[in-house]
Chains A and B, each alone.
Chain A
Amino acid sequence: MQRIRALASSAVVVSLLAAATACGGGSSNEGSNESPKTLTYWASNQGPNVEADKKILQPELDKFEKQTGIKVKLEVIPWSDLLTRILTATTSGEGPDVLNIGNTWSSSLQATGALLPWDQKNFDKVGGKDRFVESALGSTGTQGKDPAAVPLYSMAYALYYNKAMFKEAGITEPPKTWDELTADGAKISKGGKWGLGAEGSNLSNNIHQVFVLAKQHGGDFFTADGKADFTNDAAVDAVKQYVDMMATNKIIAPGNAEYAKNQSLSDFSKGKTAMVLWQAAATTFKSQGMQDDEWGVAPVPVQSGAPGAGKATNSMVAGINLAVFKNTKNIDGSLKFVKFMTSDAEQKLLCKTYGSIPPVKAAQSDPAFDRPELKVLRETLATSATALPQVSNESQFETSVGTAVKNLFAQSANGKRPSTADVKAELAKAQQQMASQ
Chain B
Amino acid sequence: MTTIVNSPKGDPAVREDTPGATRKPRRPGRIRRLGLPYLLLLPALLLEILVHLLPIAIGFVMAFKELTQLYLRDWGAAPWAGLGNFDVAVDFNEPVGKALLHSFWITCVFTLMSVGLCWLLGTAAAVFMQETFTGRGFLRTLFLVPYALPVYAAVITWAFMFQRDNGLVNHVLHDQLGLADGHPFWLIGDNSFFALLTVSVWKGWPFAFLIVMAGLQNIPKELYEAAAMDGAGIWQQIRRITIPSLRPVNQVLVLVLFLWTFNDFNTPFVLFGRAAPEAADLISVHIYQSSFATWNFGTGAAMSVLLLLFLLLVTGIYLVLTSRGRKVSRG
Mark A residues whose CB is within 8 Å of B.
1, 3-4, 7-8, 11-12, 14-16, 18-19, 23, 26-27, 80, 84, 87, 90-91, 93, 108, 111-114, 200-201, 203, 253-255, 257-258, 260, 392-393, 395-396, 399-400, 402-403, 406-407, 409-411, 413-414, 429, 432-434, 436-437
Cβ of B295 under 8 Å from chain A: yes
Give the CA-CA distance A80 to B163 in the complex, in Å: 20
**Of B67-75, B123-131, B218-226, the one with at least 4 CB within 8 A of chain A:** B67-75
Give the CA-CA distance A203 to B289 in the complex, in Å: 13
Cβ of B178 under 8 Å from chain A: no
B211 CB to nearest A CB, Å: 34
Give the CA-CA distance A7 to B39 in the complex, in Å: 9
Decide: B185 and A413 in contact? CB cutoff 8 A. yes
In the complex, chain B residues whose CB is within 8 Å of the CB of A392: 69-70
In the complex, chain A residues whose CB is within 8 Å of the CB of B76: 23
In the complex, chain A residues whose CB is within 8 Å of the CB of B54: 15-16, 19
Decide: B299 and A437 in contact? CB cutoff 8 A. yes
Cβ of B82 under 8 Å from chain A: no
Decide: A27 and B74 in contact? CB cutoff 8 A. yes
In the complex, chain B residues whose CB is within 8 Å of the CB of A18: 50
In the complex, chain A residues whose CB is within 8 Å of the CB of B79: none
A18 CB to nearest B CB, Å: 7
Decide: B185 and A90 in contact? CB cutoff 8 A. no
Interface string of B198-230 (1 = CB under 8 A from A): 000000000000000000000000000000000
Decide: A399 and B42 in contact? CB cutoff 8 A. no
Decide: B295 and A3 in contact? CB cutoff 8 A. no
In the complex, chain B residues whose CB is within 8 Å of the CB of A201: 187-188, 273, 275
Interface residues on B, range: 35 or more
Give the CA-CA distance A374 to B274 in the complex, in Å: 32
In the complex, chain B residues whose CB is within 8 Å of the CB of A27: 73-74
Decide: A399 and B289 in contact? CB cutoff 8 A. yes
Give the CA-CA distance A8 to B96 in the complex, in Å: 40
In the complex, chain B residues whose CB is within 8 Å of the CB of A113: 70, 73
Among B246-264, those with CB < 8 Å from A are none
A193 CB to nearest B CB, Å: 13
Decide: B185 and A258 in contact? CB cutoff 8 A. yes
Q: A11-B42, A436-B95 are in contact. Are A114 and B72 (CB under 8 A)?
A: yes
Closest 10 CB pairs of A and B: A399-B293, A410-B188, A432-B95, A255-B165, A403-B275, A112-B72, A15-B50, A396-B294, A437-B296, A258-B187
A385 CB to nearest B CB, Å: 26
In the complex, chain A residues whose CB is within 8 Å of the CB of B299: 437
Given A11-B42, A406-B188, A433-B95, 10 additional A-B pairs, CB 8 A: A1-B1, A7-B45, A15-B50, A15-B54, A26-B73, A27-B74, A87-B72, A113-B70, A257-B185, A437-B296
B304 CB to nearest A CB, Å: 16
**Partner pick for A396 among B72, B273, B295, CB 8 A cutoff:** B295
Decide: B70 and A112 in contact? CB cutoff 8 A. yes
Secondary structure at the A interface, as helix, strand, loop or mixed, is: helix
Decide: A112 and B49 in contact? CB cutoff 8 A. no
The contact sample of 23 A-B pairs, CB cut-off 8 A, is A11-B45, A11-B49, A15-B46, A19-B58, A26-B74, A80-B273, A87-B72, A87-B292, A91-B73, A112-B72, A203-B274, A254-B164, A258-B188, A395-B293, A395-B295, A396-B293, A396-B295, A402-B275, A407-B278, A413-B188, A433-B294, A436-B96, A437-B296
Decide: A413 and B189 in contact? CB cutoff 8 A. yes
Cβ of B146 under 8 Å from chain A: no
A44 CB to nearest B CB, Å: 17
Q: Which of A3, A19, A114, A436 has the most CB of B within 10 A?
A: A436
Cβ of B168 under 8 Å from chain A: no
Find the B residue at minimum CB distance from A413. Answer: B185
A130 CB to nearest B CB, Å: 31
Give the CA-CA distance A414 to B72 in the complex, in Å: 41
**Partner pick for B294 among A14, A400, A409, CB 8 A cutoff:** A400
In the complex, chain B residues whose CB is within 8 Å of the CB of A254: 164
Q: A87-B72, A399-B274 are in contact. Are A434 and B294 (CB under 8 A)?
A: yes
Q: Which of B58, B95, B277 has the most CB of A within 10 A?
A: B95
Give the CA-CA distance A7 to B99 in the complex, in Å: 45
Give the CA-CA distance A393 to B70 in the complex, in Å: 11
Give the CA-CA distance A108 to B294 in the complex, in Å: 11
Cβ of B56 under 8 Å from chain A: no
Decide: B275 and A399 in contact? CB cutoff 8 A. yes
Cβ of B88 under 8 Å from chain A: yes
Give the CA-CA distance A19 to B76 in the complex, in Å: 12
Q: A3-B38, A260-B273, A413-B188 are in contact. Are A111 and B294 (CB under 8 A)?
A: no
Find the B residue at minimum CB distance from A437. Answer: B296
Q: A111-B69, A112-B72 are in contact. Are A410 and B289 (CB under 8 A)?
A: no
